[in-house]
Structure 1
Amino acid sequence: MPDTQTPGLTAAEVAQRVADGRVNTLPSRSGRTVGQIVRDNVFTRINAILAVLLVVVLTTGSWINAAFGLLIIANSAIGIIQELRAKQTLDSLAVVGEAQPLVHRAEGAQRLPREQVVLDDIIELAPGDQVVVDGEIISADYLEVDESLLTGEADPEAKHVGDSVMSGSFTVAGSGLYRATKVGADAYAAQLAAEASKFTLVHSELQAGINKILRFITWLLIPVGLATIVVQLTLPGVAWNDALLGMAGALVPMVPEGLVLITSMAFALGVIRLGRQKVLVQELAAIEGLARVDVVCADKTGTLTEQGMRCQRIIPLAETPEPAVHNVLANLMAADPHPNASLTAIGDAVGEPSQRWTPTQRAPFTSAKKWSGVEFEGQGSWVLGAPDILATGAVASQAEELASGGLRVLLLGKSDTVTGENAPGGVEAVALVGLEQRVRPDARATLEYFRDQDVTVKVISGDNARSVGAVTSALGVITGDPVDARTLDTPEKLSEAVADHNVFGRVTPDQKRAMVIALQQRGHTVAMTGDGVNDVLALKDADLGVAMGSGAPATRAVAKIVLLDDRFATLPSVVGEGRRVLGNIERVANLFLTKTVYSAILALLVVLWRVPFPFLPIHVTITGWFTIGIPAFLLSLAPNNERARPGFVQRVMRIGLPAGGIVAVTTFVTYLILGGGHHLGTPESTQVSTATLACLIVGATWVLSVVARPYQWSRIALVAAAYAAYVAIFLMPWTAHLFQLDTSNSAMMSTGLVMGLVAAVLVEASWWIRAKVFGAPARLWAPRDAATTPEGGSPAQG
Structure 2
Amino acid sequence: MFRQEQERRNIMNPLFSMKAERFFELRHLIARNVFLLINAIIFSVVALLIFFGSIKEGILLGIIVVINIILGLTQDIHAWLTLEHLRLLAKPFVSRLKSDGTAAQVFVEDLKKNDRVILRLGDQVPSDSTVISGKGFEVTEALITGESIPFSKKEGELVLAGSIVTSGTATLQINTVFSESRIAKMTEKIQRYTENASPIQRSVQRVVKYSGYVLLLVISFVVVRAIETSAPKLITIRSIGALSSMIIPQGLVIAVTLLFSYGAVHFLRRHILLQDVNATEKMGRIKNLCFDKTGTLTENRLTVKEMHVPSGISHEEAEYLTLTYICESGDSSQTILAVHKNLTCAAGGKALDTMAFSSERRYGWILLSSAKGKESILAGPPDVFLPHLSTQQEKDWLSLLVDTHGRKGKRLMCIVRTYKEMDPRHLIGNDLSVVAVFILHNDLRSGIREAIDFFQKRGVVIRIISGDDAETVRAISDIAGIKNTSAFITGEEMEQWGDLDFDELASRFSVFARIKPEQKAKIIKALKKDGFTAMVGDGANDALAIKIADLGISMFDGAPATRQLASVVLMNNSFAEFPAAVTLADNIIKNVEIFSSIFFNQTFIGVFFFAFLSAYGFFYPFTPLNITFSNYFTVGLPGFLIFYWAIRPSQEAAKENARSFLRRVVPFPFIAAILQSLAMMVIFLFFYHDLDGTTEIRAIMVASSILLGIGFFSLAPFIYEGNTSRRQNMQIFGFVLFELLLLFMAFSNPVFTNFFNITAVPLKDFSVIFFVSAFCALVLWGIARIFSKHKELSQ
Instruction: State TM-score, norm by structure 2.
Output: 0.86
Bigger shift: residues 392-401 or 664-673:
392-401
**What secondary structure sits across from 2:413 in the alignment?**
strand
2:447 corresponds to 1:442: yes
Aligned-partner residue type, residue 536 of structure 2: T
Candidates 699, 706, 711, aligned match of 2:708: 699
Q: Closer, same or farther in 2 for the Cα pair 1:37/1:417, shift >3 Å?
A: farther
User: Which digits, 9 at most, give the CA deviation of each residue in 1:631-674, with x for residues without a partner?
Assistant: 23432442345235342123333123222122112211321133
Q: Distance in 2 between matches of 1:234 and 1:567?
A: 70
User: Which digits, 9 at most, give the CA deviation of each residue in 1:454-494, with x for residues without a partner?
Assistant: 32221221111211222222233544236241323324665
> What is the aligned partner in structure 2 of residue 511 from structure 1?
519
> What is the aligned partner in structure 1 of residue 89 from structure 2?
96
1:569 shift after superposition: 1.8
- For 1:31-50, list aligned pairs within 5 A: 32=24, 34=26, 37-38=29-30, 40-50=32-42
**What secondary structure sits across from 1:488 in the alignment?**
coil
Q: Is the 8 A contact 1:495 1:518 kept in 2?
A: yes
1:78 shift after superposition: 4.1
Bigger shift: residues 735-744 or 379-388:
735-744
Q: Distance in 1 between matches of 2:58 and 2:788?
A: 42
> What is the aligned partner in structure 1 of residue 574 from structure 2?
567
Q: Is the 8 A contact 2:136 2:330 kept in 1?
A: no
Aligned-partner residue type, residue 675 of structure 2: I
**What secondary structure sits across from 1:402 in the alignment?**
helix
Q: Is the 8 A contact 1:383 1:414 kept in 2?
A: yes
User: Which digits, 9 at most, give the CA deviation of each residue in 1:700-751, with x for residues without a partner?
Assistant: 33322332112223442344345424532554486354333444362x4454
Candidates 387, 390, 404, aligned match of 2:385: 390
Q: Is the 8 A contact 2:711 2:777 kept in 1?
A: yes
Q: Is the 8 A contact 1:68 1:621 kept in 2?
A: no
**What secondary structure sits across from 1:362 in the alignment?**
strand
> What is the aligned partner in structure 2 of residue 628 from structure 1?
635
Q: Is the 8 A contact 1:26 1:115 kept in 2?
A: no
> What is the aligned partner in structure 2 of residue 541 from structure 1?
548
Q: Is the 8 A contact 1:468 1:505 kept in 2?
A: yes
Candidates 354, 362, 369, aligned match of 1:362: 354
Candidates 467, 470, 474, aligned match of 1:462: 467
Q: Is the 8 A contact 2:748 2:760 kept in 1?
A: no
Q: Distance in 2 between matches of 1:361 and 1:26?
A: 47
- For 1:734-753, list aligned pairs within 5 A: 735=748, 737=750, 738-739=752-753, 740-744=758-762, 746=764, 748-753=765-770
1:257 shift after superposition: 1.8
Q: Closer, same or farther in 2 for the Cα pair 1:679/1:91, shift >3 Å?
A: closer
**What secondary structure sits across from 1:307 in the alignment?**
coil
Aligned-partner residue type, residue 460 of structure 1: I
2:426 corresponds to 1:422: yes
Q: Closer, same or farther in 2 for the Cα pair 1:338/1:106, shift >3 Å?
A: farther
Q: Closer, same or farther in 2 for the Cα pair 1:45/1:353, shift >3 Å?
A: farther
Q: Closer, same or farther in 2 for the Cα pair 1:207/1:549, shift >3 Å?
A: same
Q: Is the 8 A contact 1:730 1:741 kept in 2?
A: no
**What secondary structure sits across from 1:438 in the alignment?**
coil
- For 1:185-334, list aligned pairs within 5 A: 186-195=180-189, 197-228=191-222, 244-334=237-327
Candidates 666, 674, 699, aligned match of 1:661: 674
> What is the aligned partner in structure 2 of residue 162 from structure 1?
156
> What is the aligned partner in structure 2 of residue 599 from structure 1?
606
Q: Closer, same or farther in 2 for the Cα pair 1:121/1:697, shift >3 Å?
A: closer
| Root mean square deviation, CA, Å | 3.2
> What is the aligned partner in structure 2 of residue 648 from structure 1?
661
Q: Is the 8 A contact 1:168 1:193 kept in 2?
A: no
1:62 shift after superposition: 5.2
User: Which digits, 9 at most, give the CA deviation of each residue in 1:494-549, with x for residues without a partner?
Assistant: 55664233233212112211211121122x11111111111111111101111111
Aligned-partner residue type, residue 713 of structure 1: R
Q: Is the 8 A contact 2:446 2:574 kept in 1?
A: no
**What secondary structure sits across from 2:299 in the alignment?**
strand
Bigger shift: residues 614-623 or 124-133:
614-623
User: Which digits, 9 at most, give the CA deviation of each residue in 1:5-50, with x for residues without a partner?
Assistant: xxxxxxxxxxxxxxxxxxxx99568675656544543444433334
Q: Is the 8 A contact 1:293 1:643 kept in 2?
A: no
Q: Distance in 2 between matches of 1:199 and 1:460?
A: 31
Q: Distance in 2 between matches of 1:777 and 1:757?
A: 27
User: Which digits, 9 at most, give the CA deviation of each residue in 1:240-282, with x for residues without a partner?
Assistant: 6566545544442223122122112112212322334443322
1:285 shift after superposition: 2.8
- For 1:119-130, list aligned pairs within 5 A: 119-130=113-124
Aligned-partner residue type, residue 494 of structure 2: L
Q: Is the 8 A contact 1:29 1:198 kept in 2?
A: no
> What is the aligned partner in structure 1 of residue 10 from structure 2?
none
Q: Closer, same or farther in 2 for the Cα pair 1:604/1:267, shift >3 Å?
A: same
> What is the aligned partner in structure 2 of residue 784 from structure 1?
none
Aligned-partner residue type, residue 706 of structure 2: I
**What secondary structure sits across from 2:290 in the alignment?**
strand
Aligned-partner residue type, residue 128 of structure 1: G
**What secondary structure sits across from 2:280 in the alignment?**
helix
1:438 shift after superposition: 1.4
Q: Closer, same or farther in 2 for the Cα pair 1:419/1:270, shift >3 Å?
A: farther
Q: Distance in 1 between matches of 2:576 and 2:563?
A: 18
Q: Is the 8 A contact 1:232 1:247 kept in 2?
A: no
Q: Closer, same or farther in 2 for the Cα pair 1:563/1:65, shift >3 Å?
A: same
Q: Is the 8 A contact 1:529 1:547 kept in 2?
A: yes
Bigger shift: residues 461-470 or 445-454:
445-454
Q: Distance in 2 between matches of 1:26 and 1:189?
A: 19
1:64 shift after superposition: 11
Q: Is the 8 A contact 1:417 1:423 kept in 2?
A: no
1:294 shift after superposition: 1.9
Q: Closer, same or farther in 2 for the Cα pair 1:193/1:756, shift >3 Å?
A: closer
Q: Distance in 1 between matches of 2:180 and 2:631?
A: 52
Aligned length: 745
**What secondary structure sits across from 2:88 in the alignment?**
helix
Candidates 781, 788, 793, aligned match of 1:764: 781
> What is the aligned partner in structure 2 of residue 481 from structure 1?
486
Q: Closer, same or farther in 2 for the Cα pair 1:239/1:93, shift >3 Å?
A: closer
Aligned-partner residue type, residue 97 of structure 1: A
2:169 corresponds to 1:175: yes
Q: Distance in 1 between matches of 2:188 and 2:239?
A: 51
Q: Is the 8 A contact 1:114 1:132 kept in 2?
A: yes
**What secondary structure sits across from 1:318 in the alignment?**
coil
Aligned-partner residue type, residue 399 of structure 2: A
Q: Distance in 2 between matches of 1:364 and 1:659?
A: 68
1:617 shift after superposition: 4.2
User: Which digits, 9 at most, give the CA deviation of each residue in 1:324-367, with x for residues without a partner?
Assistant: 2222222222213342111111110113436x222112221111
Q: Is the 8 A contact 2:138 2:152 kept in 1?
A: yes
Bigger shift: residues 123-132 or 245-254:
245-254
Q: Is the 8 A contact 2:113 2:177 kept in 1?
A: yes
2:402 corresponds to 1:399: yes
Gaps of 5+ in 2: 1-16, 388-394
Q: Distance in 1 between matches of 2:60 and 2:608?
A: 23
Q: Closer, same or farther in 2 for the Cα pair 1:650/1:92, shift >3 Å?
A: closer
Aligned-partner residue type, residue 391 of structure 1: L
> What is the aligned partner in structure 2 of residue 150 from structure 1?
144
User: Which digits, 9 at most, give the CA deviation of each residue in 1:141-193, with x for residues without a partner?
Assistant: 33222113222334223222332111111121233233222224554554235
1:114 shift after superposition: 1.4
Q: Is the 8 A contact 1:549 1:565 kept in 2?
A: yes
Q: Is the 8 A contact 1:125 1:171 kept in 2?
A: yes
Q: Is the 8 A contact 2:489 2:509 kept in 1?
A: no
1:234 shift after superposition: 7.9
**What secondary structure sits across from 1:308 in the alignment?**
coil
1:215 shift after superposition: 2.2
Q: Is the 8 A contact 1:46 1:255 kept in 2?
A: yes
Q: Distance in 2 between matches of 1:527 and 1:495?
A: 17
Q: Is the 8 A contact 1:729 1:735 kept in 2?
A: no
Bigger shift: residues 622-631 or 727-736:
727-736
